[in-house]
Amino acid sequence: MAVRSSLGTLFCVSVIDVLGFGVLIPLIPYMGERFHASPEVITAILGSYSLCQFLAAPLWGRLSDRHGRRAILMSSLGGACLSYALLAVASGLGLLLLSRMLAGFMAGNLAAAFAYASDVSAPQERAHSMGIVGAAIGVGFMFGIPVGGMLAGNDAATASFVRPALVSVGLSLLAILLVKLRLPESRTPAQRAEVRAHGASPLRLLRERAALRSIAAAALLVVCSYGILESIFVIWAFHRFGVGPRTVGLALFGVSLLTVLMQGGVVRALVPRLGEAMLGGAGALAYALGLLLVAAAGRSVPLVGAGLALAGIGMGAFTPCASALASKQSRGDDRGAVMGTYQASTSLARVIGPFLSGYLYQLLGPDAPFIAGALITLPAIGLLLRVRHGALAAESVAAATESARSQRSTLPDQ
């Protein structure tokens, strides 16, 4: 019951946290357009958020191992409040960039949230627990994006950016209060002291753990592709269909809804049958096919919707499975560092994706980013299958060793 209560509180905190971020997602490109920025500059600003998240995620993960998950969650949420306040008063590209960089640095707290979920879960339940955090992130995006669009209005020329930013400030303050009052610490003082003496760096973790390298590489590819979709879709939809923040927000709401449904329940039912690696690979394939369908849709709104739906289902399968596989590479006292390293790979992907999308859009045409995203995603399937085969081989060796040990123990003494 205590575990269920802790995960429930963590779910609420993560929803509120990401809701504050999601409110602003459909607005940044329109702010850039208002400040006369080109698509390359707009996607670079979006990428700066993820660059700072990439730099911060391993740090937040290690700090949460040393000082506890609660302290890191509250500190980073406080920094997010400041970033939203800066966005509310932004009158040019300089403050817009600064607010995004600060928000990205503070978003490294997701590593602490995933580590918390892993702390309180048994290994066989880890994919489900990671799915709960992933579903919370999806719910935050799902509701945050349309809320941001409605608060801003559907006219790109007169959209208000102050109201959504102030709502985000209030949401972050609410999340801090919830952590302080309702979320118990998942690590004991003894565990934190042990990490202070034996902390592991991300490079060392990747060097020593081959499976973690493969999982992080797969996540980098898939999330890079998702960063392409996320950063260019608003611009693509505006230029092709002339739609405003509200319409784009509702379209992305549908994608997030499917992702949440996968992470919140379907994954738990499928993991025992397929395993995390197989289900994650199937999710990556579905996501790639969805992008190709969007690229081939032309001006057909139903085909665009079908492609986005397939992409949402694919991401909903991939994300919790990859997170669960990564958490299983920890050795007890370094779970925050492991999840921070994994989170850094996804953050780096969100740096690369937006920077790629703007240039591909300008150089090769509006459909090129979606095709490139699909091609980038496909190698992730092989990487996850490699992890699966490695795990199966390890299980076979362990079973053979145990069998030999049992046989020796039953032999009569000579």
Instruction: Determine the pLDDT at residue 156.
Output: 63
Three-state DSSP state, 138: helix
pLDDT at residue 154 in the model: 66
pLDDT of 355 = 77
Helices and strands counted in the chain (H then E): 18, 0
pLDDT tens for each residue of the chain, 414 residues long: 466 778 888 888 888 888 877 777 767 777 887 888 887 788 778 778 878 888 888 888 888 888 888 999 999 999 999 998 998 888 888 888 999 899 888 876 777 888 888 888 877 777 778 888 877 877 777 777 778 877 777 666 667 788 888 888 888 899 899 999 888 888 777 777 766 545 566 778 888 888 999 999 999 999 999 988 887 888 888 888 887 767 777 787 788 788 888 887 788 788 888 889 999 999 999 999 999 999 998 888 889 989 999 999 999 999 989 988 998 888 766 777 888 888 888 878 877 887 788 888 888 988 999 999 999 999 999 999 998 876 654 444 334 444 444 444 444 554
pLDDT of residue 403: 44
Burial of 36 (0-12, 13-18, 19+ CB in 10 A): exposed
**Using an 8 Å Cβ cutoff, are 284 and 222 in contact?**
yes
Place of tokens 């994300």: 319
Question: How many angstroms separate the Cα of 130 from the Cα of each of 100, 133, 135?
Answer: 26, 5, 8
Closest by CA to 16, choosing from 113, 100, 111, 85, is 113
| CB contact at 8 A, 240 and 300 | no
Asked if 332 and 194 touch (Cβ cutoff 8 Å), the reply is: no
| 361 closest CA partner among 97, 29, 98 | 29
DSSP secondary structure, 232-269, as one string:
HHHHHHHHHH---HHHHHHHHHHHHHHHHHIIIIIHHH
Residue ranges per domain, the chain? 2-184+200-400
358 within 8 A of 231, measured Cβ to Cβ? yes
Contact 91, 83 (CB under 8 A): no
Q: What pLDDT does 110 receive?
A: 77
Largest CA distance in the chain: 91
**What stretch of H or E contains 105?**
helix 93-106
356, 220 Cβ separation under 8 angstroms: no
Residue 201 identity (one-letter amino acid): S
- Give 3-state DSSP helix, strand, coil % of the chain, rounded to 5: 85, 0, 15
Spell out the residues 6+ positions from residue 233 whose beta carbon is closer than 8 angstroms to its own: 248, 251, 252
For residue 185, CA distances in Å to 7, 65, 209, 226, 411 come to: 12, 11, 28, 33, 49
What's residue 398's pLDDT?
37
Name the residue among 98, 94, 116 with its Cα closest to residue 17: 116
**CATH T-level fold of 2-184+200-400:** Growth Hormone; Chain: A; (1.20.1250)
| CB contact set of 282 (below 8 Å; sequence gap of 6+) | 274, 314, 317
Which amino acid would we find at residue 172? S
User: What's the pLDDT at 394?
Assistant: 45
Encoded tokens for 347? 């953050």
Query: Encoding tokens for residue 22?
Result: 């999601």
341/321 Cα distance (integer angstroms)? 16
